Amino acid sequence: MTSNITAFDDDKLLEAVEKATKVYKFCPNRIWAAVETSPGHEHELPILFPPQDQRLDYVFGSRRHCNTAQDTHDRCTFDFCEFSLLNFTSVQQRHESRSCADVACSPIIAENIFPEDALHNAAAEGRPTAWHLYGRRIVQPHQRFMAISHVWSDGTGAGKIQDGRVNKCLLNFFREVALELRCEGIWWDTICIPADKAARSLAIQNMQANYERAEATLVHDCFLRDLPWRDAETACLAIVMSPWWSRSWTALELARSPTVKILFKGKRGYVLKDLDDDILCNPQTQRHALLVAIIRRLRMQMITNVDDLLCVLRSRYASWTKDLALISALLVGAAVEPDDEEHVPLEHGLAAIEKAKNVYQQDIFQRVVKQIGSIEYGHLFHNLPTMSDGASWCPARLLSLPPSFSATIHLESHSQSAARADQPPALRVDSNGNVVGFWKIFSASCALPDEYDWRSVHPFIAARIRSSLKQEASHRILVEPSARSIIRALVVKALQKPFKAHSYQFIGSVHFYQPQRLLESAGAIHEITILNRLDSQGPSTSKTKPIAIKQVSTMPVLSKVPREHSDDDSDEERRGWSLQEDDPPLCDEGFRYPDGFYSRPDRLYTTRQENLQEMRWNDIASGQYGREPPWDWTPPEQQQTSQTPLDQDLLLAAKEGMKDAVLHLLHEGADPGEFDEDFRNAFSWAAINGYSEIVELLLDRHRKRLQSAYSSSHRKNNNDKDPTPVVDRWSQFFSDQFDTADVQGRTPLAWASRHGHFYVVQHLLHWYEIDIEAEDHNLWTPLTCAVMGGHTGTAKLLIDLGARIDHIDESGYSLLAVAVKIGSLATAKMLVASGVNVDGLPGKKIPIFIAAETGHGPLLRLLINGGADMYREDEYGSAVHRAARWGNVAALRLLLEAGRGRLDINKPTSFEGDTALHAAINGSSIWSTHHSFPMPKGREEVIRLLLDTERIDVNARRQDMNTPLHIAASYGDDTVLDLLLGTGRADINATNNNEETPLYFAAAYNKENAVRKLLRVGADANIRCLPTKSSAAKTPLVVAQERKYDAIVDLLKPHTSISNRIRAPFEKIWAPTATASGTRLDRYENYGL
């Protein structure tokens, strides 16, 4: 990091540092960490620590707690804190009472107040492990509890006292604070994590959920407790300088806590201040605003870009190095379990230690980047060792990256923020970890060897880059597309088939002593892929025969029938084959054309390509979400075409991005307006595949033809007539080439938007002829296509240029509904900020319903915070019904917390009368009747969450009068039955419209364990049921006999009276003839009953 000496007074910087370290006794490492990731960097130190400030002198200049070596930080430096890496787990537990200084209070015995078995059961069942304030029992989910975020160096951990024991005075202090916050329970890791290894692992895995569910999180740091409360501004500075702020786990706890309370020193002991309401709100000074911006980075529920992650974690410490990788994953919502295990997203949990212990730190960091989905250009210029597993571009330790200064929480005006949002999109990271984006491509020889600056580059990395630069035929230089001169670049290796066109392997980054100025024509901009691993994209499993490259000496018509490489090929052809096997040649400007075509001014080489005549509708025209071809569509082999060979070559050249070939073919007379069998011309294919140079070339040709038409008409009419009609005809003729829909009804603009070709869209929309609202067969506009592809920057560009944001497609999806459906948080945020209707329209797809069904927590939170109506209903219920039906625990918990006090959890749907509890048990099969299939997986946790909710009615009735116990009995799931019966409120003999009981359902669907459980709790086996109006009344035993469920018959017989062991109509038939044919009991015995 360098300073601008001409614009900044070094004396002020030194004076500020002297004041902070010598007078206020702050750690130099924490001082530097506070400004390292801020917009002004070291320039802001004099703002934080001015020479004269009575408030700071009063609060920090008179600190009395600097009485130990670790408080003074005399041995710390700007890049290292001597005490941050110490292990404080064995620090003696602190005492709160002054009387304990003379006679220490005895610790509380865990087993007496905090019974281990209750903690073990709660952890095993996935329930909160917070204790009631006075022990004995675990709090229920509807009860308010306080979570504690603390630093072990203060003696608030277990220390030398093990097995959950705590000093009595310390526990009483936390009880006092909890009561002040009107909480009934407390979550404190010292007493709330069980000792049993298996239960401990479960509790740790779900630990962060306690901070999310807590009524308030209490921050306890003796550094802050010893500082007198003065005002919000000094409190902000104290927080940033505190030991609590420097720890990595507390960063995660702060990010996950809805409400945070911090202890400061008051006139009578302590004073509690709310972080959001008392400290971060309404900054009035520049220093306060700067500190608020730093802290608010951790008030986001989920981090969505690499820069914010670096700002949050880069300067923090953890006792174990791997913890930083695990915390990174938790902050962005990535998973850390091994690839061969079942995928369980880490929405909560400290580190999922048991799963993560076999995962390498590098793998976790790669998953973090994939989850974020984008990086900035600056992140690739790092000169750090990359990951050893494959040819990765990603550094082995992600947090070592320097920020690219694009973090979302910066001090900036509204206009600055809007301007930054209008910039082209960042580089995209796909699901394989490949980096996709636009770059200028140059030859490896575009700069002289002595122009490179090798200072601060590791010798091994420098040697590898220099060796690669010598291999000019196979290596390239990549430069940011907006660069006018080159001060830094990437060195990459071009990859041949089976990798797709413009695929490269990352080698390293280089910097130059002086900016390298290049011709405007040099360095074509193309969308390229930097592979994360060489096996992340291909190679293809299909075997391809070697193809000879045929030289075309005069460049007339391109060869379409490649020659196989045989023994009788000429030496010239063999040389062409060798060229293909090694590396492609370059054009003069250092530009590599896509696979198969490489041109120089004097020759054109061509390899085997998919001939245009061999292309088929399903291979090219159909997109992932495209429609089937129209009914009157004719297969290509049956179509008559007037295309000349030149026209066909132009189509292929434009499709493959061959600029030189396009120029040559246009000069030879090829018609760019000629359409292929998919009704696409050369311009269409260039736009679809993102070749912005060819798009610009054809548009420029259009412009020149218009100018020529105007001049010709003007001369022909000798200025006597208006040339406008002629020009209009020409304009319409050429606009038809650029704005004509293909067989799917999709225009070039729509295709470019669908694939996120930002610069192509930008070129197209400079022309008034282009229809920005053109609809395809699915009623998708270009903006819909951009949103469907998750291309936020392209979508923002279309909106800024006038695209409608209230469009609804044929299936009823609004733009926001599409973004939620594909799970694009960045696109959804942009749409909400642009003013879309977050609620959706009646009868159409509702965004909050989709978010609840998919279980995307950050998107659901965005919609709720954006004003979406979470109580909205249709015939299938509300968002709560959908989250319960689809088993999305995180979404359901978020909805229950947001609707606390207002949500009617027992409200039925209008379709079948399902409550949320019915929906959770029945799963997504809302139209099915009772099944003999097993209970849908993952329902137990949702059902447990609902049963723990206040005012839940376990006996709620559907329209058919079935209770939740009826449905659970028909599934026969032991866990769900235990949950319902365990409430003690379930009506075990409830009857539905057909007088059927849960026991009848269990017997009818052969659920032996369900029958056993219901009989055990006293279910009545003698209730007669009427399955249909025309059928006979039956007991559970009778239906089991009819269906020959022998095991269930054996269970029910002892509980069924003799008179109820046969269907009711038999009584009416046999009763009159009892004297002639024996007693009725004889009849029963004859039937084996």
Residue 619 shares a structural domain with residue 512: no
Mean pLDDT over residues 475-491, rounded?
86
Residue 592: predicted pLDDT: 30
Residue 1076: predicted pLDDT: 37
Has residue 1023 got a pLDDT over 50?
yes
From 500, 531, 562, give the residue that closes a domain: 531
- Give residue 149's pLDDT band: very low, low, confident or very high (50, 70, 90): very high
Residue 1079: predicted pLDDT: 44
Q: Look at residue 1048 and tell me if it is in a domain.
A: yes
3-state secondary structure 202-258: HHHHCHHHHHHHCCEEEEECHHHHCCECCCHHHHHHHHHHCHHHHEHHHHHHHHHCC
- Give residue 659's pLDDT band: very low, low, confident or very high (50, 70, 90): confident
pTM passes above 0.85: no
Residue 556 shares a structural domain with residue 687: yes
| Segment 671-729, tens digit of pLDDT | 777 777 778 888 888 888 888 778 878 777 766 666 666 566 555 554 545 555 555 55
At residue 83, φ and ψ (nearest 5 deg) are: -105, -5
Q: What span, in angstroms and rounded, lies between the C-alpha atoms of 501 and 784? A: 27
Residue 787: predicted pLDDT: 92
From 650, 680, 702, give the residue that closes a domain: 702
Q: Look at residue 1089 and tell me if it is in a domain.
A: yes
Residue 502 shares a structural domain with residue 606: no
Q: Look at residue 1050 and tell me if it is in a domain.
A: yes
Has residue 434 got a pLDDT over 60?
yes
Residue 411: predicted pLDDT: 37
What stretch of H or E contains 796? helix 792-800
Q: Look at residue 847 and tell me if it is in a domain.
A: no
For residues 165 and 88, the answer to whether their CB atoms sit within 8 Å is no
Residue 532: predicted pLDDT: 79
Q: Look at residue 608 and tell me if it is in a domain.
A: yes
Q: What span, in angstroms and rounded, lies between the C-alpha atoms of 785 and 718? A: 48
Residue 999 shares a structural domain with residue 1044: yes
Residue 953: predicted pLDDT: 92
At residue 98, φ and ψ (nearest 5 deg) are: -65, -30
| Segment 1027-1077, tens digit of pLDDT | 665 566 788 999 999 889 999 999 999 888 877 776 554 433 333 333 334
Q: Look at residue 1028 and tell me if it is in a domain.
A: yes
Of 22-26, 807-811, 914-918, the poorest mean pLDDT is in: 22-26
Residue 987: predicted pLDDT: 93
Report which of 307, 303, 355 is spatially closest to residue 329, judged by C-alpha positions: 303
Of 297-306, 593-602, 751-760, 1022-1031, the poorest mean pLDDT is in: 593-602
Residue 477 shares a structural domain with residue 562: no
* Helix pair angle (964-971, 1008-1016), 10° resolution: 140
Residue 527 shares a structural domain with residue 664: no
Of 100-104, 385-389, 1010-1014, the poorest mean pLDDT is in: 100-104
Higher pLDDT: 21 or 1016? It is 1016
Please state, as a whole number, how many other Cβ atoms lie within 10 Å of the Cβ of residue 888: 23
Please state, as a whole number, how many other Cβ atoms lie within 10 Å of the Cβ of residue 468: 19
Q: Look at residue 265 and tell me if it is in a domain.
A: no
What is the bridge-based pairing of β-strands 503-517 and 485-494? antiparallel
Q: What span, in angstroms and rounded, lies between the C-alpha atoms of 968 and 935? A: 8
Residue 710: predicted pLDDT: 58
Identify the top-confidence range among 532-541, 765-774, 831-840.
831-840
Identify the top-confidence range among 44-58, 193-207, 447-461, 527-541.
447-461
Residue 160: predicted pLDDT: 52
| Segment 551-606, tens digit of pLDDT | 222 333 333 222 233 333 333 333 232 222 333 333 333 323 233 322 222 222 22
Written as six digits, the tokens of 955 are 């006996």
Mean pLDDT over residues 929-939, rounded?
51
Q: What span, in angstroms and rounded, lies between the C-alpha atoms of 178 and 144? A: 10
Residue 639: predicted pLDDT: 43
Report which of 437, 587, 568 is spatially closest to residue 523, judged by C-alpha positions: 587
From 471, 498, 531, give the residue that closes a domain: 531
Residue 730: predicted pLDDT: 53
| Segment 160-187, tens digit of pLDDT | 555 556 788 888 889 899 998 889 899 9
Structural domain range at position 1011: 992-1089
Q: Look at residue 180 and tell me if it is in a domain.
A: no
| Segment 116-147, tens digit of pLDDT | 778 777 777 767 788 888 887 888 877 889 99
Which residue(s) pair with 491 in the sheet? 477, 508
Higher pLDDT: 14 or 78? It is 14
Residue 998: predicted pLDDT: 94
Mean pLDDT over residues 516-537, rounded?
67
Residue 1000: predicted pLDDT: 93
Query: How open is the CA angle 935-936-941, to the nearest 5 degrees?
Result: 95
Q: Tokens 């600097």, residue?
A: 66
Q: What span, in angstroms and rounded, lies between the C-alpha atoms of 524 and 166? A: 68
Residue 513 shares a structural domain with residue 559: no
Residue 1051: predicted pLDDT: 92
Q: What is the CATH number of the domain that holds 606?
A: 1.25.40.20
Q: For residue 269, give the amino acid letter.
A: G
Higher pLDDT: 320 or 441? It is 441
Residue 585 shares a structural domain with residue 513: no
Give the rounded distance of the alpha carbon of 283 from its chain centre. Answer: 32
Residue 349: predicted pLDDT: 38
Higher pLDDT: 538 or 454? It is 454
Total count of domains within the chain: 3
Residue 336: predicted pLDDT: 63
Residue 526 shares a structural domain with residue 560: no
Has residue 466 got a pLDDT over 70?
yes
Higher pLDDT: 792 or 119? It is 792
Residue 1008 shares a structural domain with residue 1083: yes
DSSP helix/strand/coil, 668: helix
Residue 620: predicted pLDDT: 27
The pLDDT mean for the chain works out to 73
Exposure on the CB side of residue 85, measured as CA atoms within 13 A:
10
Residue 459 shares a structural domain with residue 560: no
Residue 565 shares a structural domain with residue 671: yes
